[in-house]
Amino acid sequence: MKSAISTSGAGTAGASAAAEAPAAPNPVQAYSRLLTDAVRRKSLSGRLASRSALARECPAPPEALEALTGGGNQVPGAQAAVELSLSLAADSEDIRLVRRKAELWYFSSRSMTDAYALHLARSEEGDKALLIAETVRDESKIYPRPTDPRCFSDPPFRIGTGELEAALAEIRQRPDTTDICFCTASNGAVYLYSRDFLGERLAESLAEWIEVGQKENP
């Protein structure tokens, strides 16, 4: 009898301990937290986190890769694991994505705006003429207004004077930037606009107002 009571008590205690034991951590969520933390740190320092860099710097542990397969045999590649894990991350409303042809770029909206992140992603591609053209199209379409090319010397672009002059000359020649036009204010300042979104007369009048009108009528 004592033995029976003792056995029953031990079983009850064991069941209670098992019920109170914390659940094993989800390997995918643990890996997702690692990735979101890395993205946030980069955003705080003014940088984007590329999918390829995250795959190199934060490789998925075997248990996360296994969980991502769902029990199947096809293990995702390192970059696919990053993309899938970030898409499944909990508490990641601030993690956003800029999708470009050659790369996926992640950032945190806590530290960086969508527009700034897009400029950084374009800058990372190294095609300065296309970077300028796409930015000009955005400003002509959204605001609308012509673009002062001097702004490309500032962050986040940081294009040097010689490189900027070369890129502007290239824009005049490239078949994929034929919509980008130049106009000149009365003080000689040159502005760019996209004729797909902004008419010539309006672009010229806006450039004149920015350069001359605002200064004469503060």
Predicted confidence (pLDDT) per residue in 151-174, tens digit: 999 999 999 999 999 999 999 999
pLDDT at site 21: 53
Angle between the N-to-C axes of helices 161-173 and 128-142, in degrees from 0 to 180, rounded to the nearest 10: 70
Return the closest-CA partner of residue 104 out of 88, 124, 76.
124
pLDDT at site 7: 36
CB atoms within 10 A of CB 152: 24
pLDDT at site 3: 37
pLDDT at site 1: 36
pLDDT at site 72: 62
- Ranges under pLDDT 70 in the chain: 1-24, 71-73, 75, 218
pLDDT at site 216: 75
pLDDT at site 130: 96
pLDDT at site 2: 39
pLDDT at site 14: 52
